[in-house]
Amino acid sequence: MDATACSTLFAWIDREVWLVTAAAGNRRGGLIATFVSEASIVPAMPRMLVGIARQHHTGELIRASGVLTLHLLSEANVELVWRFGLQSGRDRDKFEGLEVEQSPSGCPVLHETIGWLECRVETSLDIGDRTLYLAGVVEGKVSHFAPPLTSKRLMELAPPHLLAEMKRQRHLDSYRDAECIRQWREEHGVAM
């Protein structure tokens, strides 16, 4: 496998940055995700595909409730990335001090973002390091018209200490993910 080819091609890819929220019982949580994609071209049947690492607190809430809400972020929302993307919600309420409403299914909703889509999980696939959720959009609202924040622009906006922290966490996650993928391939008889 040509790792340089991969990293060269991946360097061209720029993804939108999303805030994913979920709630179950009296617990609520949220994380930042770039693994979010439209999964249907039928205007009346919008579906989304979302990849969430299995160890995340927000993933637990999605598994428990079967519902998630996707918020598209703009540059003005960059502070939300540091709040939701660099620490676990297991030990603290990441929404503290924010103006939070509830979606019809009870997910936390932040109107300061470009807009949000509430999605109900139709099916999920465990791929070792992540769970892929295919979810149908059941509700949504646009609050602000602004260009979306992308992962490349996020790197430019990040102050040096937060950029270093993002890279550190990504590095650690990739070690854990590698082990999970190896195990998954073994269990599923996938030889690479």
Q: Around Cβ 33, how many Cβ atoms within 10 Å?
A: 22
DSSP string, 20-58: EEEEETTEEEEEEES-EEE----TTS-EEEEEEETT-HH
Query: What does the alpha-carbon distance between residue 117 and residue 131 come to, in Å, rounded to a whole number?
Result: 19
95 sits near ligand FMN (criterion: CB under 6 A) = no
Q: What string marks each residue from 162 to 191 as x (binds ligand FMN by CB under 6 A) or -?
A: ----x-------------------------
Number of H-type helices and E-type strands within the chain: 5, 9
CB of 43 to ligand FMN, least distance (A): 25
Alpha helices, H only, 40-159: 57-65, 78-85, 151-157
- Interface positions, 32-91, toward ligand FMN (CB under 6 A): 32-35, 51-53, 56-58, 81, 85-89
Half-sphere exposure of 155 (CA within 13 A, CB side): 7
CB of 141 to ligand FMN, least distance (A): 22
Q: Around Cβ 152, how many Cβ atoms within 10 Å?
A: 13
β-sheet bridge partners, residue 20: 31, 70
For ligand FMN, the closer CB: 31 or 72: 31
CB of 109 to ligand FMN, least distance (A): 17
108 sits near ligand FMN (criterion: CB under 6 A) = no
CB of 80 to ligand FMN, least distance (A): 10
CB of 31 to ligand FMN, least distance (A): 4
CB of 44 to ligand FMN, least distance (A): 27
| Segment near ligand FMN (CB under 6 A); pick from 29-37, 105-113, 116-124, 180-188 | 29-37
Which residues neighbour 8 within 8 Å (Cβ) at sequence distance 6 or greater?
none
For ligand FMN, the closer CB: 35 or 184: 35
Residues that bind ligand FMN (CB under 6 A): 17, 29, 31-35, 51-53, 56-58, 81, 85-89, 151, 154, 166
